[in-house]
Chain A
Amino acid sequence: MNQCVISDPLFILAPPRSLTSVVCAMLGQHPQMYGLPETHLFSAAFIGEWWDLCERSNFEMADGLLRAIAELYFGEQTETTVRRAVGWLRRRAHYTTGYLLEILANRVHPHILVEASPSMASDLGILERAYSMFPDAKFIHLVQHPRGYGEAVIEAINDAKVHGPVPQWLLQLASYSNLTTNSEPSISWRVLHLNISEFLKSIHRDQKMLIRAEDLFAEPSPGLKRIAAWMGLRTDDDAVESMKHPEQSVYACFGPQNAVYGNDAFFLKDPALRPKQACYSLDGPLSWRHDGQGFLPEVKDFAQQFGYE
């Protein structure tokens, strides 16, 4: 209970399918940081409530936290240790979710925790809960061009169709609005980034940073170095080189049968970093629409605020 004073975590804020898994794993490879899988902790105030949400969830919401507990408290991620992690977490059902994250932070101390649950972007209340519990936390707003995001969502849907029914959360991302029968993921892009932007308005400028995923992936070294410097951490070549190997994260692969995911499935399949140049435009038809239409004006306006053209 009376643990050392921990550093508040670094939260990466972005919608699902926005490269949070790979960026979290990259930052987590810095010698002074520890990247968690998706814990979705702040969707609830208490662990008992979090369990209830996991049971009702339309995705494997518990996998990330169970893998982290199995790894950090039981030394490995196997079916046996995940079962132990379930018991460990059930016994702590009365804890606040913030206290549980503090316990994990103590466990990895002096490393700083990096958390990147995309569910945080879905609700201002979730973001505010995280901030009220960790008022010293830092936040990276990770943006991606709406075209790249839309294609990633459609790619995930097409991939899911091969294996069976498409998960509800993916369908929701693709058609956030009832205004159109077309898949239009750019609406969820705008809504979720608006949530993040709105929340970040109240955060001190020293505690937040905007990162465009395309910039980070085109030239990882300067981007990663800039983040480490902003965090007040080592920026030497070794530290930056470590961050270019997200595949070395203990969570950069599928977990055991009873906690398979905990990160984006595409990342789990292929976690290595491949620097790439992406050149997207806000104009022109969208590949996922059959009517040849482009982005809605409000999506374009908002994307331009992030410097996209």
Chain B
Amino acid sequence: MVDALFILAPPRSFTTIVCAMLGQHPQMYGLPELHLFGARTIGEWFQQCAHASFDMDHGLVRVIAELFFGEQTEKSIARARGWLMRRSHCTTEMIFELVAEKVHPLIPIDKSPSLVYNPQCLQYVRALFPDARYIYLTRHPRGHGESVMRYLEERAKLGPIPPGHWLVGLASYPYSFLSENHMTHERRDVDPQRGWYALNQNICEFLESIPDEQKLRIRGEDLLSRPADALGKIVRWMQLRDDPVAIEEMMHPERSPYAGFGPLGARFGNDRSFLRSPTMRPVRPIVQNLEGPLSWREDGRGFLPEVKELARQFGY
């Protein structure tokens, strides 16, 4: 049975750097974003990639090039695509299992943010990998919202953002899940707190069905401000080595084979800011408040009550 670790969090929640850090542990292997489990077969996955608003296939293609063809070059990327095309009939979990076998005895870590958009997708993963463990990585809704807005501004510099882009979707999540008294707002105005709430709700609901020993919730801010403590806690929970050498290894996410831009044809597969600057820089703990106006709202409003309540459950 595949023993895998899944990091669950909405996009813009430190998943990339945390996955790369954990992946440097001598007994784990951090994968880029595979986005595998939204499709049943690799053929269907290729179709989804063709219609995605981002370079959805880059992560998996880089992994196949690295693990099965020994390097990430234009040549091996082309070969990896052919290898995957020939396996269009395979289920996506079969391909994940092949990857897991290839890195064995290391434990593969998947952190595809697309997982948390679809509760069915999460249940599917649970059924396929009943022994898997889950790290639930949380982020303060203020820090998350500001990060989404910053990323949106960065992306806008590259040209007009298509309405179907995932970032627009995350920033303007629909209201449908919120209580009636908030339905008076324009239905798709920009306010990333809704995306934060909806995706965290998906994760919370999913994790209710997971035994305690298979799940661990960590605040991303704590992990990045006191990495040695948080990483030690994680590896002890995983029943892996927690000696100083292992912890020190995890302080170097930049050593991951996916911690840089890939060759032409598979440049990404991870958050672009991380790819540009993958080194970990100690972060001073910033106290963020759940009260007060939100920088991205012109009307001076603050967080919705549902958002505040959920954030408090995470200790914010």
User: Is A46 an interface residue when CB atoms closer than 8 A count as contact?
Assistant: yes
B201 CB to nearest chain A CB (Å): 37
Residue numbers in A under 8 Å from B79 (CB-CB): 8, 135-136
B82 touches A99 (CB 8 A): no
Residue numbers in A under 8 Å from B75 (CB-CB): 136
User: Is A132 an interface residue when CB atoms closer than 8 A count as contact?
Assistant: yes
B89 touches A136 (CB 8 A): no
Q: Which residue of B43, B81, B86, B98 contacts A102 across the interface (Cβ within 8 Å)?
A: B86
Interface centre among B78, B85, B88, B94 (most CB of A within 10 A): B85
Residue numbers in B under 8 Å from A101 (CB-CB): 86
A129–B207 alpha-carbon span in the complex (Å): 42
Interface centre among B75, B78, B88, B102 (most CB of A within 10 A): B88
A137 CB to nearest chain B CB (Å): 9
Write the B41-67 contact mask toward A (1 if CB under 8 angstroms, else 0). Answer: 001000000000000000000000000
User: Is B316 an interface residue when CB atoms closer than 8 A count as contact?
Assistant: no
A1–B98 alpha-carbon span in the complex (Å): 8
A48 nearest in chain B by CB position = B89
A134 touches B82 (CB 8 A): yes
Residue numbers in A under 8 Å from B68 (CB-CB): 5
Q: A2-B101, A5-B69 are in contact. Are A96 and B86 (CB under 8 A)?
A: yes
B82 touches A8 (CB 8 A): yes
A52 CB to nearest chain B CB (Å): 16
Write the A86-104 contact mask toward B (1 if CB under 8 angstroms, else 0). Answer: 0000000011101101100
Q: A5-B68, A5-B69, A136-B79 are in contact. Are A99 and B98 (CB under 8 A)?
A: no
A135 touches B94 (CB 8 A): no
A287–B235 alpha-carbon span in the complex (Å): 82
B89 touches A132 (CB 8 A): no
User: Is A260 an interface residue when CB atoms closer than 8 A count as contact?
Assistant: no
A122 CB to nearest chain B CB (Å): 21
A95–B86 alpha-carbon span in the complex (Å): 8
Write the B72-87 contact mask toward A (1 if CB under 8 angstroms, else 0). Answer: 0001001101100111
A94–B81 alpha-carbon span in the complex (Å): 20
A135 touches B101 (CB 8 A): no
Q: Which residue of A2, A5, A99 contacts B86 across the interface (Cβ within 8 Å)?
A: A99
B109-124 residues at the A interface, CB under 8 angstroms: none
A241–B94 alpha-carbon span in the complex (Å): 45
A232 CB to nearest chain B CB (Å): 15
A92 CB to nearest chain B CB (Å): 9
A94–B85 alpha-carbon span in the complex (Å): 14
A95 nearest in chain B by CB position = B89
A45 touches B98 (CB 8 A): no
Q: A1-B98, A5-B69 are in contact. Are A133 and B85 (CB under 8 A)?
A: yes
Residue numbers in A under 8 Å from B82 (CB-CB): 8, 98, 132-136
Q: A2-B101, A5-B68, A5-B69 are in contact. Are A96 and B87 (CB under 8 A)?
A: yes
A103 nearest in chain B by CB position = B86
A134–B79 alpha-carbon span in the complex (Å): 7
A98 touches B86 (CB 8 A): yes
A132 touches B69 (CB 8 A): no
Residue numbers in B under 8 Å from A132 (CB-CB): 81-82, 85
* Chain A interface, >50% SS class: loop
A96 touches B69 (CB 8 A): no
A135–B69 alpha-carbon span in the complex (Å): 13
A215-250 residues at the B interface, CB under 8 angstroms: none
B189-234 residues at the A interface, CB under 8 angstroms: none
Residue numbers in A under 8 Å from B85 (CB-CB): 96, 98, 132-133
A60 CB to nearest chain B CB (Å): 26
Q: Which residue of B87, B88, B101 contacts A45 across the interface (Cβ within 8 Å)?
A: B88
A235-273 residues at the B interface, CB under 8 angstroms: none
A98–B46 alpha-carbon span in the complex (Å): 15
Interface centre among B68, B85, B89, B101 (most CB of A within 10 A): B89
Residue numbers in A under 8 Å from B94 (CB-CB): 1
A292–B75 alpha-carbon span in the complex (Å): 53
B69 touches A133 (CB 8 A): no
B20 CB to nearest chain A CB (Å): 25
Residue numbers in A under 8 Å from B87 (CB-CB): 96, 99
A53 CB to nearest chain B CB (Å): 17
Residue numbers in A under 8 Å from B78 (CB-CB): 135-136
B40 CB to nearest chain A CB (Å): 12
A8–B75 alpha-carbon span in the complex (Å): 13
A202–B217 alpha-carbon span in the complex (Å): 51
B86 touches A133 (CB 8 A): yes
B81 touches A99 (CB 8 A): no
A1 nearest in chain B by CB position = B98
Question: With A1-B94, A2-B102, A136-B79 given, can you name 18 additional A-B contacts, CB distance below 8 Å?
Answer: A1-B90, A1-B98, A5-B68, A94-B89, A96-B89, A98-B82, A98-B86, A99-B89, A102-B86, A132-B82, A133-B82, A133-B85, A133-B86, A134-B82, A135-B78, A135-B79, A135-B82, A136-B82
Seen from chain B, the residues whose Cβ lies within 8 Å of a Cβ on chain A are 43, 68-69, 75, 78-79, 81-82, 85-90, 94, 98, 101-102
Interface pairs A-B: 10 shortest CB-CB: A98-B86, A135-B78, A99-B86, A135-B82, A133-B85, A133-B86, A96-B88, A94-B89, A96-B89, A132-B85
Seen from chain A, the residues whose Cβ lies within 8 Å of a Cβ on chain B are 1-2, 5, 8, 45-46, 94-96, 98-99, 101-102, 132-136
**Can you list 21 A-B pairs with a CB-CB distance of less than 8 A?**
A1-B94, A1-B98, A2-B98, A8-B79, A8-B82, A46-B89, A96-B43, A96-B85, A96-B89, A98-B85, A98-B86, A99-B89, A101-B86, A102-B86, A132-B82, A134-B82, A135-B78, A135-B81, A136-B75, A136-B78, A136-B79
